[in-house]
Amino acid sequence: MRIGMIGLDTSHSEIFTSLLNDRSATHHVPGGLITHAMPIYSEDLPISFERYPKYRDIVERRYDVIIVTEVDVLMDNVDAVIIGTVDGRNHLHWFKKVVSYKKPVFIDKPIAMSDREVD
């Protein structure tokens, strides 16, 4: 299964990619491979924009993940997607952008900032 990732501003970007892509590691989870990622981060959140360069570099260089900037390109090249930005404020926004593709979606916590948003 080819998996896309939205967000490269959290340690989870590296961890998920390592779990799936590093076949030589004892922690490897077979069956999926992160093949594409969108370099999303939040400019108004220091923990996001300060970490982004490091995690983008790791995912792109160490694991050969292809960086794309358009949702259509991402979704046309993957079978499932992980929404993993550190900023939970944008998770629902990204979910709404990908749900119409009818592919499995994993949303790293939280799905939204309030229960009203997910009605």
SS3 12: helix
What does pTM read for this prediction? 0.91
Phi and psi at 58, nearest 5°, equal: -60, -50
| 109: confidence class by pLDDT, cuts 50, 70, 90 | confident
Residue type, 93: H
Q: DSSP of 53-109, one letter per residue?
A: HHHHHIIIIIH-PEE---HHHHHHT-SEEEE--S-GGGHHHHHHHHGGG---EEEPS
Are 29 and 80 contacting, i.e. CB atoms less than 8 angstroms apart? no
pLDDT 10s digits, 35-76: 999 999 999 999 999 999 999 999 999 999 999 999 999 999
